[in-house]
Amino acid sequence: MATFWIGLLSLVGRVMLCAIFLLSAIGNKLTNFGGVAEAMKGQGVPLPQAMLASAIGFLIVGSAMIIIGYKARVGAFLLLLFLAVVTFYFHDFWEFADAARANQFNHFMKNLSLMGAMVFILANGAGAWSIDQCCCRPNPQVPTDETK
């Protein structure tokens, strides 16, 4: 019974973790591509349309890989790269003052926490109820007469 709950909680946790990335890609970046690219240009992001297209790909592909647990470490790396770039360009709290500084600091810390979650997946994989765990683990070596 404990195995069931571990699997269920691992899957639910992966979905919850990636919801912010999927909703950001589908609900904002895809539907408002021109506006987001213009905002990126205003923040000094080089090649904003190409970077935005890449970001959307990283968000969708990385999230899907983590949720289903297929090559979850690669998905986590994609999202970690996305977070590092976004945090540097858009949440540079040190450039702000007063309330704006506090707001940007909160976003910076949120992204830092999400980066920590990605590092955790890089280190540990997707966990239970993932394709990586079910299908891609190396088979344990069965002892033979020669290895006994």
- The residue among 69, 103, 100, 62 whose CA lies nearest residue 83 is 62
Say if 144 falls within a structural domain: no
Task: For the chain, list residues with pLDDT below 70.
Answer: 1, 137-148
Distance CA 44, CA 30 (A): 20
pLDDT at 1: 67
In a domain, 90, yes or no: yes
Instruction: Return the pLDDT at 95.
Output: 93
pLDDT at 33: 97
Note whether residue 67 is domain-resident: yes
Establish if 7 belongs to a structural domain: no
pTM given for the model: 0.88
Grouping H, G, I as helix, E, B as strand and the rest as coil, residue 111 is: helix
Q: Is 133 inside any structural domain?
A: no
pLDDT at 136: 72
The answer to whether residue 39 is domain-embedded is: yes
Whole-number pLDDT of residue 134: 86
For residue 117, which of 70, 57, 62, 42 has the smallest C-alpha distance?
62
Q: Which two tokens stand for residue 108?
A: 């910076």
Domain count, the chain: 1
Range of the domain at 70: 14-128
CA-closest candidate to residue 10, choices 138, 143, 125 = 125
The pLDDT value given to residue 112: 97
CA distance 76 to 69: 10
Give domain status of residue 33, yes or no. Answer: yes
Structure tokens at 9: 């909680």
**Residue 99 counted as domain residue:** yes
Distance CA(54)–CA(82), nearest Å, equals 9
